[in-house]
Amino acid sequence: MQPREPDAVIDCGNSGTTLRLLAGILAAQPFLSVLTGDASLNRRPVARVVEPLRRMGASLWARSADRFPPLAIRGARLRPLRYELPIPSAQVASCVLLAGLFAEGETSVAIPGPARDHTERLLRALGVSVEESALAVGGRQVTVTGPVRFSGATLRVPGDFSAAAFFLAAAAGTPGARVTASNVNLNPLRTGLLDVLEAMGARVEREGVRLECGEEVGTVTVTGPGRLNAFDVPPEWIPRLVDEVPAWVIAATSASGVSRIRGAQELRVKESDRLSALTRHLAALGVEVREHPDGLDVTGGPLEGGRVDAECDHRVAMTFATLAVRARGPIRIDGAATIATSYPDFAETLERLGGRVSAMDPGAHRT
Q: Are 71 and 34 in contact (CB under 8 A)?
A: yes
Q: How confident is the model at residue 137 (pLDDT cuts 50, 70, 90)?
A: confident
pLDDT at 3: 87
- Same domain? For 298 and 213 the reply is yes
Per-residue pLDDT tens digits for 14-54: 999 999 999 999 999 999 999 999 999 999 999 999 999 99
Domain-terminating residue out of 146, 177, 201 = 146
Q: Looking at the structure, tell me whether residues 110 and 171 fall in a common domain.
A: no
- The whole-model pTM stands at 0.92
Q: How many Cβ atoms sit within 10 Å of the Cβ of residue 263?
A: 16
If 0-12 CB within 10 Å is exposed, 13-18 middle and 19+ buried, where does residue 228 land? buried
pLDDT of res. 364: 58
CATH value at residue 225: 3.65.10.10
CB atoms within 10 A of CB 16: 20
Query: How many domains does the chain divide into?
Result: 2
Residue 300 lies in a domain: yes
Do residues 171 and 229 both lie within one domain? yes
Q: What is the pLDDT of residues 324-362, one digit of tens each?
A: 999 999 999 999 999 999 999 999 999 999 898 987 555
Evaluate whether 249 touches 281 at the Cβ level (below 8 Å). no
Q: For residues 14 and 41, is the Cβ–Cβ distance under 8 A? A: yes
Which residues lie closer than 8 Å to 199 by C-beta, 6 or more apart? 231
What would the mean pLDDT of 74-89 be, rounded to a whole number?
95
Q: Are residues 186 and 133 part of one domain?
A: no
Verify that 243 and 122 share a domain, yes or no. Answer: no
Q: How far apart are the C-alpha atoms of 105 and 317, rounded to whole Å?
A: 45
**Range of the structural domain that residue 98 is part of:** 10-146
Helix (H, G, I), strand (E, B) or coil at 26: helix
CA–CA distance, 344 with 338 (Å, rounded to integer): 9
- What's the gap between Cα 118 and its chain centre? 12
- Cβ atoms of 224 and 175 closer than 8 Å: yes
360 against 124, higher pLDDT? 124
- Cα separation of 300 and 80, whole Å? 50
Give me the pLDDT at residue 87, please.
86
Instruction: State residue 64's pLDDT score.
Output: 95
Residue 151 lies in a domain: no
Residues assigned a catalytic role: 243
Residue 300: CB atoms within 10 A of its CB come to: 20
Q: At what angle do helices 192-199 and 161-172 cross, to 10 degrees?
A: 10
**Percent of the chain clearing pLDDT 70 (strictly above):** 98
For strands 59-62 and 32-36, give the pairing.
unpaired
Residue 363 has pLDDT above 80, yes or no: no
SS3 category, 64 = helix
In a domain, 260, yes or no: yes
